[in-house]
Amino acid sequence: MSTMVGTLFGAEFAYWQTSGFRLLMAFVAVLLPAGGTVYLYLFKMVSFMQSRLGPMEAGPYGTLQLVAELGKNVQKEDIIPAQADVFVFKAAPYVVLISTFLLVLVVPFGPDAVFADFDTGIFFALAVSSVSVIGILMAGWASASKYSLLGGLRAAGQLIAYELPLVLAVVGVVIQAGTLSVQGIVTSQAEGEIFGWGGVGNPFFLTQLVGFFIFMVAVQAELTQSPFDMPIAESELVAGYMTEYSGFRFLMFFIGEFATANIFAFLAASLFLGGWSLPPFVADALFADGNFSPWMNLVGPAVMGGKMLLLTFVIYWVRFTYPRFREDQLQSFAWKFLIPLALANIAVTGLLKVVF
C-alpha cells in the first residue's frame, strides 16, 4: 500500500500513474470542450441563428473545420512587430494559457475524479483566473501598437471591475455550503434537501438565483465576450490586445478564451447546478451507493459535460444577441448595480443561514 495511493474497482495505481493520468485528463478537460463548443456553437449554432449554414466544406457538415483552422494557424508566419518587446510579446499567450490550465485543477468530475482537492478550491480558482489579466496587459504593452495598448488597458479595467461581483456572487454559495472546496460544494448539493425532501438534492441555483445571475454576467465580462467586448471592439481597436498576434500565438489566445469559457461553465455547474451529481432519485435508482458509487467517476464527467454545454450555450447565445456596452455603462453596471446586488445577496444569505 505504501506506494499505491489510488484504488478503483480493486485495481491499485502508483503515485506517478495517478499523476500522469491527471495530467493527461487536464489536457483533455481543457481542449476537448474547447474544440467541441467552438465547432458546435461558434461555427454551427450561431450560423443557424443568423440564417446561414456556417462551415460545410470540410468533412460532413463541416465537422473537420477545426482541423483546417488548426492547420491554417500553425503554418502561418509568426510575425513579431519590429518595435515589439520580443520576450514579453512571446510570453504573453503562455501566461493566459497557464491561467486556463490552473483553473481546471479545482473542477471535480466525480466523487474521486478530481485533479487536486484543494481545501480552498473556489478561492484558488478565482485567484488564478485573475492571472490571465497579466497576460493580456503584457500582450497589449509589448505589441508596441496603440490599438493593442488601449485594448489591454480596457481589458484590465474591465476585468478588475467584474472580478469583484464574480467573487462576491460565489460568497453566497460558500456560506450556504459551509466550505470553500468545490468538491464539498458539490457534495452538499447532492446531499441537500428541500424542506426535508432530498429527491433532487438542493442545487444552489434554487436558493442562490441572484448569485447565479451575477456570476454568469460577471463570467461573460471576464471572458470579454459581447456585450462586454470593449477590449477587442473590432470597429474601434481592430482586435485590441490581439491585434499584432498571428499564427500559433493568436491560436493560443483563441484557445485560452474559449477554453476558459468552458471551465467557467464547469465551475458555474459545480457551484449552482449540482456539479457531477445526478439528481439523487435518479442516482439511487441506478447505483447502490447513489451519487457516491465508484461508477459516478465515469458518469460524472458526462453529467458535467451536459451541464457545461447548457451553460456554454447561454454564454454564446448572449454573446451573439446583445450589442456592445459603452465603456462608462460597462463600469457603472459593475460598480453601481452588480456589486451592491451581490453584497445584498451575501447579507440575506448570511441572515438566513443564521436563522435556519
Partner 1 sequence: MMFATAMLSSQTAAVTADVALTGTGEWVANGFFYAMAVVAIVAALRMVTTKNVVHAALYLLVVLSAVAGTYIILGAEFAAATQILVYLGAIMVLLLFGVMLTRAKIGHESELDYQQRWLGALVAAGMLAVMSYSLWEAFGTDKLPVDQTPQRTQEVSDSIFSTYIVPFEALSVLLLAALIGAVVVARRD
The nearer residue to partner 1, 177 or 311, going by C-beta atoms, is: 177
**208 is written with which cell numbers?**
442562490
Residue 165 sits in the site that holds partner 1 (CB under 8 A): no
The nearer residue to partner 1, 15 or 337, going by C-beta atoms, is: 15
The H or E element spanning position 5 is: strand 4-8
Residue 222 sits in the site that holds partner 1 (CB under 8 A): no
Query: Least Å distance between CB 70 and partner 1?
Result: 28
- If you ran DSSP here, which 8-state letter would residue 334 be given? I
Q: How many residues of this chain bind partner 1 (CB under 8 A)?
A: 58
- If you ran DSSP here, which 8-state letter would residue 181 be given? -
Residue 26 sits in the site that holds partner 1 (CB under 8 A): no
> Residue 265, exposed/middle/buried by CB under 10 A (0-12, 13-18, 19+)?
buried
Residue 201 sits in the site that holds partner 1 (CB under 8 A): no
x/- binding map, residues 298-317, to partner 1, per CB under 8 A?
x-------------------
Residue 343 sits in the site that holds partner 1 (CB under 8 A): no
With CB under 8 A as the contact rule, the residue among 68, 88, 206, 309 that binds partner 1 is: 88
Identify the three-state secondary structure at position 207.
Answer: coil
Task: Enumerate long-range contacts of 287-294, CB under 8 Å, 24 or more apart.
Answer: 291/111, 291/190, 292/111, 293/111, 294/8, 294/9, 294/111, 294/112
Residue 32 sits in the site that holds partner 1 (CB under 8 A): no
> Under a CB-based contact definition with an 8 Å cutoff, are residues 293 and 64 in contact?
no
| Only segment of 136-144, 185-193, 224-232, 326-334 that touches partner 1 (CB under 8 A) | 136-144
Residues with Cβ within 8 Å of residue 98, at least 6 apart in sequence: 131, 135
Give the footprint of partner 1 on this chain (CB under 8 A).
Answer: 1-9, 11, 13, 15, 17-18, 21-22, 25, 83-85, 88, 110, 112-120, 123-124, 126-128, 130-131, 133-134, 137-138, 140-142, 144, 149, 152-153, 156-157, 159-160, 163, 180, 294, 297-298
